[in-house]
Structure formats: structure tokens, C-alpha cells
Amino acid sequence: MTNKEASTWDDLQWRRRLETFGDDDGPIVASGPNGEVDGVCQLGDLTDQGRATTLALGQRLRHLYVDQLGFMPKLISDADMVYLRATPISRALDSVQQSFWGLYPRSARTASFPPPTIITRTPADETLFPNDGNCRRFSQLSRAFAQRTADKWNDTEEMDYLNKLISKWMPPSSQRVAVDSHPRLSGIMDTINSTLAHGPKTRLPPEFYDRKGRDIIDRIGTEEWFAGYKESQEYRSLGIGAMVGDLVGRMTGSVQKNGNDGLLEIAGEDGALGTGRGGEKNIKFAMSGCHDTTLAAMLASLGAFEGTDGKWPPYTSHIALELFRKSDKTDWTDGKTVAGRTSFDEEQRVKKQSTARRGLWASLFGPTTNAVGEGNKAPEPEGIARKTMEALDAEERGQLRGFYVRIRYNDRPVTIPGCRFPGNHLEGDESFCTLEAFKSIVDKFTPKNWKQACASNIDMPAFPNSPEPAGT
């Protein structure tokens, strides 16, 4: 929908109703448990309960970072100090919107508050969740670990117990409950958890909620989906390494104040990039709408999953990564140690010059050289960004000193094994990991080129020859 001048576009406000098949195969309007016909969810959409809990999460964040700590302002005229990102899955986008409105409700936004920027990616580029649909090698690995789990658990007393409970409700084509049954055991777990969250009208028969049975399902499900992150460096790298590398890159960008904290992506007037619409020059807060598989993958890759309760993340779970600065570090705010990034337009101009001789096909679809050839070499990052700790010079290493990273999972601090070593944490508190140590741990499973890695090692074994423990 456009305005009269056809210079801007806006969304049409509309009322949604779902259509389905009737008894005679004709179309009828789908309804909710109380006969609701408007706003009924599609499968996988964020429900009203989900909207309420993600809004409450934003309100808790406001209470902590605005009311208690005074870290974020009480009133904002734009959101250009906040980095917002979501996956292409609609419930993730809805979740980040609800959480943001909880953090900054209408009463905390000025009347002229412009629309906030939310970053998204195409599914082929998405790394905010383990993207087995667009990463061939990761798909191989995840299937191999899932099969290993099936081989281990399908013929056990635990699976027999589950079958005594619920096999009578399995379809004729797959009458025995198993890791790889149809539906899969993890799919049964999803149904159990979602019905538990939404009241008695969505409940399954009581056998599905047997406490022992649910514990068995959770134990097997977490092994199937997350054991790979604990055991394999390649699994970590392809499944979640790019996302965690982005987080660390934004942390170092915040330290260096060079735009790599996400400012260039978020800020700028409509149709342009630049500083914030209110003059902001730094990102203070970032929030990404992702998934349960994102959170558990990240914790497991850092060696911290068992340090929580080792169970599948409940609905509306969240991980907070907090960057702290030692109060006596006085050389941080000058922002003169690294030249700021150029604008996107300038970066594109330089890129076009470098690719002009490669012809139209190459500039549109990339180099035609072999995936490991020189034509696919990743450009060197500006500032620290994705540079490994080993590649940093003394001055760059010095910039990271005096900064600490703390992870909180559902409001409880988490300790990473590699941060327990002397010199790797704030004295007296192992949950405050030095930024240097945290980056060193993450560097080990941050891919240099995710898409290239996804197309590599296709003929190699799925399991490492020896254990590759996480979080060290």
C-alpha cells in the first residue's frame, strides 16, 4: 500500500481468518476452542499465550536494565541504540516485537517514535538457528547423530515404558513409539509441551503427562538434537558457530566503537545507512528472536548445557550475554584506536571495482572457481570483528583487556568450563569470563566461511576420531 505521492509503502491492516475442509470436503472457516474465528493461529505461529509470555520477558528486561540498573533510558525517541534481529519464522519475528514492546511500551516512547529496524535474512543465509535445510554438511551430521540416538534408545526398557503409556495413540503406519517413528519422539515431545502451556482445552490423554515418561522423552530428545554440539567441533561450527561469532563480533565492535556493533545495519534515515536517527553512535542493547534449538545449541557449544539443568529449553526461554567493563578502564571511550567502517555505499563501490573484470555472470552469481580456490577467499574483517585471537596484534589484544562477558540463561548465571582457569575470569566470580578468553573459546568453532564449510567434507565421516569437548 502506498501513499498519494507513491514515495513510501506501508502494510495493509487486515483481519485474518483460516479456511479448512468441511465434512463434505467443502470450505469452512476454522475456529478455536471457544468458537473464535478471527486471528486463529497457523501451525507454528506464536499463540496468544506466547505473545503474553514474550511481552512479560520484555517487561522483566525493562525492570532490570532500565529500572534497576539504569543502563537503558526510560524514554526513547527512536530505537537506533537497539539491535533487533529475527529469523524468517513468523513466531520469532512476533516474539522479538512483543519483547521489544515490553522493554519499551507506548508510555516509554515519544509521540514521534519512528518504526524500529528489525534485521532479517533469507532462509539460505540464516544462522540464528541450526540451518540443516540450507547447510548440506550439517544436515548429514544431524542425521547421523539422530540415527545414533535411535540405535541406542529404540530397543530399551525406557522406550518400552513409553510404548506402554502412549503407543495406543500412534498411527497404524508407525505403531511403536521410537526416536525415528512417525511422528518422531521429539515431535511427540513438542506436542506435549505445547499443550501443557495452553490450558485444559488443548490437553492430550493423561498418559502423555506421566512424569517418568516425560523425563525419558526429554533425555532422549536432548541427546538426539544437542549431543553433537558437545562432541564435535564441526557440528558446533556449522550448527551455531556463525551466530555466536556474530555476537562476539558485535561485542568487539562495541569495544572498538567502529560500527561493527550493529549500528550500521540498524541506524540511518529511511533509505540510507548512517548514525542513529537520534544521533546514536553505538548499540547499547541487542535482542534476537530465535528458537529453542538456538539456545540449547549455544549452551552446549560453550560446554554449559549440563550446567543448567540439561533439559530442553522451556517456552520463552532466553539467554542474556552481558558485556561488562572494569570501572578503572579509562581508555575505552575515545573510539580512536580503529578507523570507523565506511558506509555501505562506499563498500559496494569498492566491491564493484574489484569485480568489474569478472563479467556479469561472476558479479551476479559469484566466482566460478573451485570452492577452495582463491576466488572464494573471505575478505579480511575491519577492526577485530572475526579475526581470531591469534591474529590480533598487541594493540588489539590490549583493547579487549578489562572487559568481561557474563551469560545468564533464564535469569541464572552460567559458567563456561574454559573460563574457570586462572586468569580467564574476574577474580572471585567464574561466571564473569574475560572477553579475551570468551573470544578464544568461540573462535575455535566460528567458521571462516559458513557456506563453503556447508559444502565441504561431504564424503567424510560424521563423527570425530576422538572427543572434541566444548567450552574449552
- Tens-digit pLDDT profile for residues 404-455: 999 999 999 999 999 999 999 999 999 999 999 999 999 999 999 999 999 9
Rounded Cα–Cα distance for residues 289 and 299 (Å): 16
Nearest to 56 by CA among 316, 358, 311: 316
Rounded Cα–Cα distance for residues 294 and 276 (Å): 29
Q: Which amino acid is at 76?
A: I
For the chain, residues with pLDDT lower than 50 are 1, 332-351, 353-381
Query: What is the reported pLDDT for 334?
Result: 42
Grid cell in block for residue 41: 493461529
Query: What is the reported pLDDT for 38?
Result: 87
What is the DSSP-derived secondary structure letter of residue 33?
T
Query: What is the reported pLDDT for 441?
Result: 97
Q: Which residue has the cell 499465550?
A: 49
Rounded Cα–Cα distance for residues 137 and 143 (Å): 10
| φ, ψ of residue 430 in degrees (nearest 5) | -70, -15
Query: What is the reported pLDDT for 333?
Result: 45
pTM of the predicted model, to two decimals? Answer: 0.85
What is the DSSP-derived secondary structure letter of residue 367?
-
Nearest to 289 by CA among 464, 46, 105, 112: 46
Concatenating the DSSP letter of every residue in 42-79 gives PTTSPPHHHHHHHHHHHHHHHIIIIIIS--S-SSBS--
Query: What is the reported pLDDT for 2?
Result: 52
Nearest to 307 by CA among 470, 64, 445, 146: 470
